[in-house]
Amino acid sequence: MNVQIFCRPAAWQGALTGLLLGMSLWLPVAAQAIDMGTELGLAEAEDLALQLDPVINALGAQARSFEEQSIAANTLPDPQLKLGAMNLPVDTFALDQEPMTQLQIGVRQMFPRGDTLEIRARRAGNMSNVVKARAENRRRMVRRSVREAWLEVYYWHNAAEIVRKTRSLFQQLLDITEGQYAAGRGKQQDYIQAQLEYGLLEDREERIRNREAGMRAQLARWIGSDNAARVLAMSLPAVPPARSARLEDVLVSHPLVEAAQGQVAVSNDGVDLARQAYRPGWMLDITYASRDGVNPNGVERPDFVSAMVVLDIPLFTGNRQDRMLVAREHERSAAEFQLEDQRLVLKRMFERLDADRVSLDERIQYYQRVLIPRSHENASAALSAYQSDEGDFLTLVRARIVEFETELKALRLKIDRAKVQAGLNYILGEEQ
C-alpha cells in the first residue's frame, strides 16, 4: 500500500473525490454492459422455444388427424359382397335337380341414418378447429413464458453487474479508509463501516448470481441449457402504445375463446347426431341368382334377380334416443357456459394487466423525472459536504448506496413493465 497517499490530506481527498464521482458516472449505464460472446436476443429465444416445444407439434399433428377424419367420416361404409348357394339338395348336391337351387352373388350397402355422415364430417372439422385454436394459444403461452424468463435473466444479470462494480469501488474506498486509519488520520468507525458495506455487497452479489442461475434454468426449460447459458442482448423490447380497439372485439379472436366456440360447435354437432337417431337407417341388398337345368316344358330355367331394402324403425325411443338427446343438449349448455367463463377470465386478466401497465408507467416516469435525479443530487451533496468537513463518512456511503439502489429499482420497474406487456400481448395477440 502506498502510504504517501495518506500522508498528504489533499492527495487522498482528491483520490477519494475522483473515486466517488466515478460511481455516479457508471451507475446509469451499468445495466447496458455487454459480455463477450454470441448474444441471445429476445426474438431469437422466442423462435427457439416455438420450434422446440413438443406440445405445439403434438397439437398440430392432432389437428391434421381430425382433418383426415373429417374426410373419412363423410364416406359411406364399405359395401358387402354376398356369395352363396341356396336350396341345394343334400341327396345328390346336383345344381340342376331342383328348380329352386340357386347360386347367388349379391351386394349390400348400408346407408346411415339421415345426415349422420355429413354431421360426423362437420364435427371432425370442428374438432380440428378446436385443436388449432389450442395450438395457437400454446404458441402465445410459450412466447409469454419465454419472454418473462428472458426478462428475469436480463434483470438479475444486470443487477449483479451493478453490484459487482459497486463492490469494486467500495474495495477502493475500503483501501483508502484503511490507509487513513493506519496513519492515524481516519476514524475507526469509518473503516469498520466501509468493511461492513463491502461485505454486505459481496453477499448481495452472491445472492443475485444465484437468482440469475435459477432464472437461466427456467429459460433452459424452453430453449435448452446451451442456449440459456449464452450472453443476453442488452436491449429491452420496445413498449408499444396502448391499443384503442374495443376489448370485446379483441377477445372474439383470442384462441381460447375460439377453442371454446369450437367446442360449442362440436356440442351442436352432437345434438344434431342425437336427432338423427330418430330417423331410420337403411340397407340396400341386390342379389343375382343363377339356376341350372330345364323346366318340364323343356325351357331352360331363368335366373333370378332380387332387390331388398332393410329399414331401422325407431319405435321405442324413451330410454335411448330421448335420453341421448337430452344428454347432448346438456353437453351443449356446459360448453356455452364454459365459453362465457373464458371470456370473463380473459377480460379480468386484461383489466388487471392494464391497471398494472398504467401504474408502472407512472412509477417509471416518476423515477426518471424525480427519484433518479434526486439520488444523484443527494450523492453529490453528500460528497460536497464530506469534502468540506460538514458531513460524515457514513452519510456519504449511504448516499451512494441509495443512488445505486434507486438505479436497481428503476430497472426492476422496467422489467415488470415489459412482463406486463408480455401478458397484454398474450391477450391482444401482438408480438412486440
Residue 391, C-alpha cell as written in the block: 458531513
Query: What confidence tens digit (pLDDT) does each residue in 85-95 have?
Result: 999 898 888 88
DSSP 399: H
Query: What confidence tens digit (pLDDT) does each residue in 29-51 have?
Result: 443 333 335 889 888 999 999 99
User: Do 31 and 126 share a domain, yes or no?
Assistant: yes
Residue 368, C-alpha cell as written in the block: 426518471
User: Do 328 and 395 share a domain, yes or no?
Assistant: yes
Residue 191, C-alpha cell as written in the block: 473503516
| Side-chain-side CA neighbours of residue 21 (13 Å) | 8
pLDDT for 178 beyond 80: no
> Which domain-ending residue is among 259, 294, 313?
313
User: Do 290 and 386 share a domain, yes or no?
Assistant: no
DSSP string, 262-294: HHHHHHHHHHHHHHHTTSPPEEEEEEEEE--SB
Q: Mean pLDDT across the stretch 185-197?
A: 74
pLDDT for 122 beyond 90: yes
More confident residue, 429 or 408: 408
pLDDT for 1 beyond 80: no
More confident residue, 232 or 242: 232
User: Do 309 and 366 share a domain, yes or no?
Assistant: no
Q: Mean pLDDT across the stretch 178-203?
A: 75
User: Do 190 and 319 share a domain, yes or no?
Assistant: yes
User: Do 98 and 234 share a domain, yes or no?
Assistant: no
State residue 238's pLDDT score. Answer: 75
Highest mean pLDDT out of 31-40, 196-205, 239-248, 253-262: 253-262
Q: 120: closest CA among 272, 311, 332?
A: 272
State residue 420's pLDDT score. Answer: 94
Distance CA 62, CA 64 (A): 5
User: Do 219 and 242 share a domain, yes or no?
Assistant: yes
State residue 9's pLDDT score. Answer: 43
State residue 385's pLDDT score. Answer: 82
User: Do 91 and 167 share a domain, yes or no?
Assistant: no
DSSP 5: H
User: Do 298 and 358 share a domain, yes or no?
Assistant: no
- Give Cα 141 to chain centroid, integer Å: 1
State residue 31's pLDDT score. Answer: 37
Query: What confidence tens digit (pLDDT) does each residue in 356-398 have?
Result: 999 999 999 999 999 999 998 998 898 788 767 777 777 878 8
Distances (CA, A) of 117 to 69, 121, 273, 428: 11, 6, 9, 38
> Which domain-ending residue is among 271, 290, 313?
313
Distance CA 147, CA 423 (A): 10
More confident residue, 171 or 117: 117
Residue 269, C-alpha cell as written in the block: 354437432
More confident residue, 169 or 200: 200
Lowest mean pLDDT, pick from 186-195, 220-229, 340-349: 186-195
State residue 85's pLDDT score. Answer: 92
Distance CA 208, CA 389 (A): 36
More confident residue, 30 or 269: 269
pLDDT for 241 beyond 70: no
The fraction of the chain above a pLDDT of 90, given in percent, is 56
State residue 390's pLDDT score. Answer: 77
Query: What confidence tens digit (pLDDT) does each residue in 389-404 have?
Result: 777 777 878 888 898 8
Residues in contact with 379: Cβ distance below 8 Å, sequence separation at least 6, in sequence order: 20, 23, 24, 399, 400, 402, 403
pLDDT for 74 beyond 80: yes
State residue 176's pLDDT score. Answer: 66
Q: Mean pLDDT across the stretch 87-113?
A: 91
Counted domains in the chain: 2
User: Do 211 and 302 share a domain, yes or no?
Assistant: no
**Using 50, 70 and 90 to split pLDDT, how confident is the model at 115?**
very high
User: Do 200 and 88 share a domain, yes or no?
Assistant: no
pLDDT for 145 beyond 50: yes
**Using 50, 70 and 90 to split pLDDT, how confident is the model at 426?**
very high
The fraction of the chain above a pLDDT of 70, given in percent, is 86
Q: Residue 292 belongs to what domain range?
A: 77-111+280-313
CATH number at residue 411: 1.20.1600.10
User: Do 214 and 328 share a domain, yes or no?
Assistant: yes
pLDDT for 14 beyond 90: no
Average pLDDT of every residue of the chain: 85
